[in-house]
Amino acid sequence: MKVLANDGISQSGEDKLIEYGFEVITNHVPQEELVDYINSNKIAALLVRSATKVRTDIIDNCPSLKFIGRGGVGMDNIDVAYAREKGIVVSNTPAASSQSVAELVMAQMFSISRFTHLANREMPESGSEEFKVLKKNYGKGVELAGKTLGIIGFGRIGSALSSYALGCGMKVIAHDKQPISSTMPVHFHTGQSFEVEIESGSMDDIFTKSDYISIHIPKQNDGSAVISAREFAKMKDGVRIVNAARGGVIDEDELLKAIESNKVAYCALDVFENEPSPRKDLLESKRIATTPHIGAATLEAQDRIGTEMADKVKEALLG
């Protein structure tokens, strides 16, 4: 049986699929050519990340397709319920990249606290001539320790982030649709851990109490933003926000207004509404630190995603 990893797969994942007896194809097929390619090659399993969309046209017109896998957390690029109605197994790897995304959020919070995203732009250009000026400009950072981090969405990624933040001396308020434990373990490389208290709060608690806000929920079914003008108005002046979840969770127009009014001091974005062509005013803003949707893109996470997905393909197609 053939597996098409249309958005790529780690070498360890590919090796495991081959070990299980699958023929693995890693060529990227353009979206408009997928139906013909799947049918002409009798693809049994289609593996995607966030780039490839698996909608009703593929589901209805590719009878050989028995498994759709999404490497990572969200599956909003797949018509999951419809595929399952048609008897196709749909699965993802929600735990494999949690640590990687949480670490990127911590890096982003440090960056927008100490202006490293700006200093890294300007030092190569003018550091030799304007060293003292840059030092003065970027010498007014803030510390994470003692600040309150509000986490919207407390699944695997939110939980992993809270452990890092607690280890840095931050207070954590978390909001989720599911009940939240009152304590969170902070782990050490020695295998030791200790429990630290966290606060479970409403969305309004997050907005009114947080110095930093990190978002870890999927895009809403109706496409509406979770954070728009009304939510920005409730926040502390000078709040810092990180979005490494999904583009569209924050209203980008209202974000720019909130930055202009100084309601939001700085923001970090790993995801955008118009990927892979995000709007330039976001990318060019000196008060927004940007990365190109790399939350799960560590070597360790890719290995975990690939091998876990290989096991799921085997289970679905070979039993």
What are the residue numbers of the active site? 246, 275, 293
CA 122 – CA 125 distance, rounded (Å):
5
Pairing status of strand 193-197 against strand 2-5: unpaired
Please state, in angstroms and as integers, the Cα–Cα distance from residue 150 to each residue in 95, 195, 236, following that order. Answer: 21, 18, 12
Q: Helix 299-318 to helix 98-114 angle, to the nearest 10 degrees?
A: 150
Please state, in angstroms and as integers, the Cα–Cα distance from residue 64 to each residue in 9, 21, 26, 37, following that order. Answer: 21, 17, 18, 11
Give me the residues paired with residue 213 across strands.
150, 241
CA 161 – CA 158 distance, rounded (Å):
5
